[in-house]
Chains A and B, each alone.
Chain A
């Protein structure tokens, strides 16, 4: 009898040890993000922003009715990475394409994912008019101050004195003008509902960025109107820096020109 009991005890102990050693996954790749390797350079902020958007869509459980519009730029392969419907728009025209999709399918959730060369250079007319009409769409605007995909040319958001492929001696304010601040520009319009600028250079700001994206998405679900989140991101390859240095450069220089705050909140 004793021996038999010992056997049972052994099994019981092994079971307890397995339970103690077992670990629960608390943070992992969201469902809305496909299990593929991104084509972005090492240390690029696009990967972080893709994850934040996917997490927000998972948490709001709107994956089955989401349609994203991706731009021309580094994020052009969004249809490979996102696990929901994604369509492609001509350069700078995602707000116009998203307007069409939203007006024909008002029950769908529509957002655009754009870079600074896309939204603030060639597509600024579409953006301003979509905001002025207060279309019920959300825009994720990734601001890294250069044209990343084509090789680091000067964008409208390039800082004064910043060296790029087309401004080898630094941006000259007399020739090329001042950096465009899109959030400030749109905050004057009556049509905009929610405008916020966030950054992703440290974990604290990444958490804030996620909160902002979720709030903008909730704004569309509640049918309040136009929302835009500007995310100050990095481009280590075209800034000629290591990824860690580029994050420091955001904190030291970019945030002084592009201050992080809520510009409009009519929710």
Chain B
């Protein structure tokens, strides 16, 4: 599972392009800076691989995993 900071996201879409399970997509609204931020579609389909964290240029993604 991942957590996305909607205030820092600039909507570049790089995380969407690398997600192996394609469970990320753009939101419908805009954030304060005027970008469509990225949201997690299905919490269960995310496998916490961390590819989105690796390629995110604004470091707004946190990867979580069950203990």
Contact = CB atoms under 8 A, between A and B. Distances in A.
B23 to A, nearest CB: 16
B12 A243 contact: yes
B35 A23 contact: no
Contacts of A46: 57
A24 B17 contact: no
B14 A27 contact: no
Interface class of chain A by DSSP: mixed
Interface residues of A, number: 34
Interface residues of B, number: 29
B18 A203 contact: yes
Nearest to B51: A203
Interface string B8-21: 10111110011000
Contact of B65 (A24, A41, A44, A243): A24
Contacts of B67: 19, 22-24
B50 A244 contact: no
A207 B64 contact: no
A47 B64 contact: no
Interface class of chain B by DSSP: loop
Contacts of A67: none
B12 A42 contact: yes
Contacts, number: 83
A26 B54 contact: no
A244 B17 contact: yes
B59 A26 contact: no
A38 interface: yes
Interface string A187-216: 000000000000010110011000000000
B18 to A, nearest CB: 6
B14 A28 contact: no
A6 interface: no
A27 B12 contact: no
Most buried by A among B10, B48, B59, B65: B59
27 contacts: A24-B65, A25-B63, A25-B64, A26-B50, A27-B50, A27-B61, A27-B62, A27-B63, A28-B62, A29-B59, A33-B59, A40-B58, A41-B10, A42-B35, A43-B10, A45-B57, A48-B54, A48-B57, A50-B59, A202-B18, A203-B18, A203-B54, A206-B54, A206-B55, A236-B12, A243-B12, A247-B14
The 8 closest A-B pairs by CB, nearest first: A47-B57, A43-B12, A42-B10, A27-B63, A23-B64, A42-B12, A243-B12, A203-B54
Interface of A: 19-20, 22-29, 33, 37-38, 40-48, 50-51, 200, 202-203, 206-207, 236, 242-244, 247
